[in-house]
Amino acid sequence: MDSLSNDIKALIITTLNLEGMTPDEIETQAPLFGDGLGLDSIDALELGLALKKQYGVILSAENQEMREHFYSVESLARFISVQRG
């Protein structure tokens, strides 16, 4: 899952134009929002679209578990792994 986590980190950097940041600077278990990486709701939408396009995962804003899946890179990697079977 380390490879998937690194791919997600690179996708975050590219999608959100986090220039000057490397995947190594994003902690796998740190929160993506708030005190962690500091992403906001607009970033969440952009990231969600990128994840859907890249991995073909089904995202639902109405699903309360989505917030949990978007907590960290680690939780996103788990979610994508389950979705992909």
Asked if 47 and 39 touch (Cβ cutoff 8 Å), the reply is yes
Return phi, psi of residue 66, to 5°. Answer: -55, -40
The model's pTM:
0.91
Work out how many domains the chain is built from and give that number: 1
Query: What is the per-residue pLDDT for 20?
Result: 92
Q: How confident is the model at residue 53 (pLDDT cuts 50, 70, 90)?
A: very high
CATH number at residue 68: 1.10.1200.10
| pLDDT: which is higher, 8 or 64 | 8
d(CA 9, CA 3): 10
Average per-residue pLDDT for the chain:
92
Note down the domain range covering 35: 3-84
